[in-house]
Chains A and B, each alone.
Chain A
Amino acid sequence: MPSNGSERRRSFEAKLNSVREAMNKEGLAALLFYSTGQLSMLEVNPVLWISGALPIGANTGVLITDSAAAMLVSRSWDVGRVRSQSWIEEIQVADSFVASVKQLAQKKGVQGTIGLVGYAFMPAAVYHELEKAFPGKLKVADAILGRLARFPGKDALPALERAAAIADEGFAAILKTAKIGMAEHELAAEVEYAMRSLGAEDNFGMVAASDHSHCTHPPTDRKIQPGDIVIAEITPAIEGHFVQLCRTAVMGSISPLLREKFAILEKSMDASLECVRVGEKVGAVATAMNRVFTAHGYEKYCKPPYMRVRGHGLGYLSMPFAEIIDENEAVIEEGMCFVVHPNQYLPETGYLMLGDTVWIEAQGARCLTRTPSQLFSVEG
């Protein structure tokens, strides 16, 4: 990330220009980017996306007009950090979010309609207050972010690659530290440590061990047993970009049955990756994956309550599409980044995981992580 203000501003200029172009096209006098402060990997955070900083606390925002940009944060002691990360120079502390938005809009001479980006996650009370403050002058503008945040951009590739290398280390920690008798949450702590000590800012991570898992879930206090299948969904973030790695490991030797069943996931992964190319519909990726499971007699298990999505965009900063499902008509484009995972519940083995984050290049998908796409065994 650029270290000084003018460099930061330059790196955001293209984004800002496209935002203003969209504003003008939709006849908006301003755009208000809003964040609740509750973060989710499955969403682009509007304030982070436009400003480059993720303020601490609830109800923060950025107001963009044709000629100005100003940011509202909720904690005065966080201003220094936000200023050091954002290109936006005008940063105010808002004791009351809506009152501050109103003051700011008046100060900037905003008279027309204000587009709301982040409406989908805006608490009802905040929206109701905004409605009172700007009667008849609000318009939902989430679609603008949906269009513009489909690509992380080439500048993000170093951060994505670093996050991928950290995800590899996270899984390596399972292979190095998993032991019989260790609690699931102790193993998850080792995964977390491996990644946080390398600089991961966050992690959407779930590690579970069982002789028959029904789904992935946060760790419990269950002690790892011989023969347990450890499933890991590992998703570190660097500079607001998440990369996901899904893998499976067995405590002890791999049974022939498990090897046979895991091979279906590997085959499904290969089949789906062939469809991950520029111009192909996203739905085709899911269809290719499901076809392999169906051919092995598992069609029923490709649907809820067993399975639903076959991958998804990775949020905070970019999200090409929400879900890889059969019905998704979106088209894959160069520069997109998302996770493809034929994770699958099978009645004979329980839930198994295999998934990689791919970066889309003109000639096809490039897997960002380096952990081999296979079933692992831990001596433990």
Chain B
Amino acid sequence: MEMLHTALNRGCSVWDKDALPSSEFHNRIARIKLDMKQQAVDLLLVYGDSWRFGDLAFVSHFIPKNRGALTVIPLDQEPALVIQEPSRNNPFSSTLTWIEDVRSVGQFAQGVGQMLEARGLKPKRVGLVNVEQQLNIREWNGLVKLLDGVEFRDLGDVLRSLRCVKSAAELRALEKTASILDESLAVFERQLRSGKREYEVAAAAEREARRRGVEGFYLSIARSTEPRIGLHPPGSAAIQKADVISVAVAACCQRYWAELGRTFSVGGPSREQLQDYEATKQLFRSLRDGVRVGVSAAAVGQFLSEVPHANRVSLFAYGLGNGIGLDMSETPILAGKDALEIQKGMVLTLRICAARNGFGHGLIAQPFVVGDKLKALSRAVDDLVVVEG
């Protein structure tokens, strides 16, 4: 689920070589080069920024701190990483990637130009992943000028397809991030009391996640006493007795994201609130039951056909779920236009966020790995969590 971006990825910034060894990246690059060869692409540029870095991290393991970076992959040579940052940051940035040729530059065209010249490369057909979509127009114009006469080809689909099914190392990384969020939500539960401000409770949950080594942490909250406002960054409003609180948390650790959503009642919930939450829970179970190998991602929402239209609005607005991995939201997007079939080894966030009058938001979100059955990557908490008022 989309959350408000922050100015800096300021959490624990390391490359855990045991969890994600160089061999993992060599395998990925080798598979990408097969596609490059097939499409007669002799150079591939993969861009990512501090917010949307999935493709970049897939090929480099690098996570940009506050701007962006470009991986340059020649068909017949080792890749280079070009980072927009002051040159003094280069030694530190080099610790975050398996790529040896790391260049810190003011402008991407300058870095790519120097790299091509140093390697004696004169590409004819250049593949692009996320370059035109994310790189700003001034930098784009610089690259186009540098690569004058070259044919560009979008290779985004190649990486999307390679990233859909996760490797064993990726599954372990995803599970670790999910377990950190479990602990973070446990702290949230302990801290949640009437009278506390939203940001006070959120700060405690964030501290727990940061202590455990996340690179970035995001929390959105919604309260039944403010039903007109959806999930939002924590503010100064105080939690009230009888509030029903929905919380979505997301974090990345070793570049791999997890997202969890849970609903809390401050003091005993009313009978109506319990009934409403029970309906949310049933929807979540129906969603989970509908996600099976071979089903198209678009068809996953069919179980909602019997839900009254008014109750469906928030479900579609927040989304029923998506792939999760190096991006918080990635292919496949469930119940949308994505015709991709669910496959074994995909990791999906399943999400039901039901906003109803008088209740606010009932939220359940959890990551699962797809196998013969879905396996939860986090603690299965789909009950309404009741805390003392």
Name A residues whose Cβ lies closer than 8 Å to a Cβ of B: 37-42, 54, 56-57, 74-81, 84, 119-125, 127-128, 183-186, 188-190, 192-193, 196-197, 199, 201-206, 214-215, 217-221, 235, 237, 242, 304-308, 316, 345
- Distance, CA A125 to CA B236, complexed state (A): 38
Choice from B3, B50, B86, B132 contacting A56 with Cβ under 8 Å: B3
Residue of A nearest to B361 (CB): A77
A25 → chain B closest CB, angstroms: 24
* Additional A-B contacts beyond A56-B232, A124-B137 (11; CB < 8 A): A38-B49, A39-B51, A40-B7, A84-B228, A124-B131, A185-B11, A185-B211, A215-B92, A220-B14, A305-B87, A307-B88
Q: What B residues does A196 contact at CB under 8 A? A: 199, 202-203, 206-207
Residue of B nearest to A218 (CB): B13
A214 and B5 in contact (CB under 8 A), knowing A78-B232, A124-B140, A188-B11?
no
| B134 close to A (CB within 8 Å) | yes
A125 and B202 in contact (CB under 8 A), knowing A78-B230, A202-B6, A206-B10?
no
A77 and B133 in contact (CB under 8 A), knowing A124-B140, A196-B199, A218-B11?
no
**Which of A41, A189, A201 is the most central at the interface, judged by chain B CB atoms within 10 Å of its CB?**
A189
CB pair B317–A77 under 8 Å, yes or no, is yes
- Distance, CA A203 to CA B204, complexed state (A): 16
| B8 close to A (CB within 8 Å) | yes
| B233 close to A (CB within 8 Å) | yes
- Distance, CA A345 to CA B12, complexed state (A): 23
Residue of B nearest to A200 (CB): B199
| B103 close to A (CB within 8 Å) | no
Choice from A123, A214, A345 contacting B136 with Cβ under 8 Å: A123
Q: What B residues does A218 contact at CB under 8 A? A: 8-13, 65, 215
CB pair A38–B51 under 8 Å, yes or no, is yes
B52 → chain A closest CB, angstroms: 8
Give the residues from 57 to 93 in chain B that come closer than 8 angstroms, CB to CB, to chain A.
65-67, 86-92
Give the residues from 1 to 34 in chain B that come closer than 8 angstroms, CB to CB, to chain A.
2-14
Q: What A residues does B236 contact at CB under 8 A? A: 199
Choice from A77, A304, A305 contacting B231 with Cβ under 8 Å: A77
Q: What A residues does B4 contact at CB under 8 A? A: 54, 56
- Distance, CA A297 to CA B314, complexed state (A): 64
Choice from B12, B140, B202, B207 contacting A219 with Cβ under 8 Å: B12
- Distance, CA A183 to CA B213, complexed state (A): 9
CB pair B12–A41 under 8 Å, yes or no, is no
Residue of B nearest to A186 (CB): B211
Sample 29 A-B pairs with CB under 8 A, ordered by A number. A40-B7, A41-B7, A41-B8, A41-B66, A56-B4, A57-B2, A75-B317, A81-B232, A84-B229, A123-B132, A123-B135, A124-B133, A124-B135, A183-B213, A185-B12, A185-B213, A192-B207, A193-B207, A193-B210, A197-B200, A204-B7, A204-B8, A218-B11, A218-B215, A221-B12, A237-B7, A242-B7, A306-B88, A308-B86
A199 and B88 in contact (CB under 8 A), knowing A188-B210, A220-B13?
no
Q: What B residues does A204 contact at CB under 8 A? A: 7-8, 10, 66
- Distance, CA A306 to CA B206, complexed state (A): 33
CB pair B14–A77 under 8 Å, yes or no, is no
Cβ-closest 10 pairs across A and B: A77-B230, A189-B210, A124-B140, A185-B12, A196-B203, A197-B203, A193-B207, A218-B13, A80-B229, A305-B87
Give the residues from 128 to 153 in chain B that come closer than 8 angstroms, CB to CB, to chain A.
131-138, 140-141
Interface size on B, residues (CB 8 A): 62
CB pair A40–B207 under 8 Å, yes or no, is no
A150 → chain B closest CB, angstroms: 20
A193 and B10 in contact (CB under 8 A), knowing A76-B317, A122-B137, A188-B210?
no
CB pair A127–B49 under 8 Å, yes or no, is no
B364 → chain A closest CB, angstroms: 16
A39 and B7 in contact (CB under 8 A), knowing A77-B318, A80-B229?
yes
CB pair B207–A81 under 8 Å, yes or no, is no
Contact with A along B183-221 (1 / 0, CB 8 A): 000000000000001011011101100110101000000
Q: What A residues does B10 contact at CB under 8 A? A: 188, 192, 203-206, 218-219
- Distance, CA A192 to CA B131, complexed state (A): 33
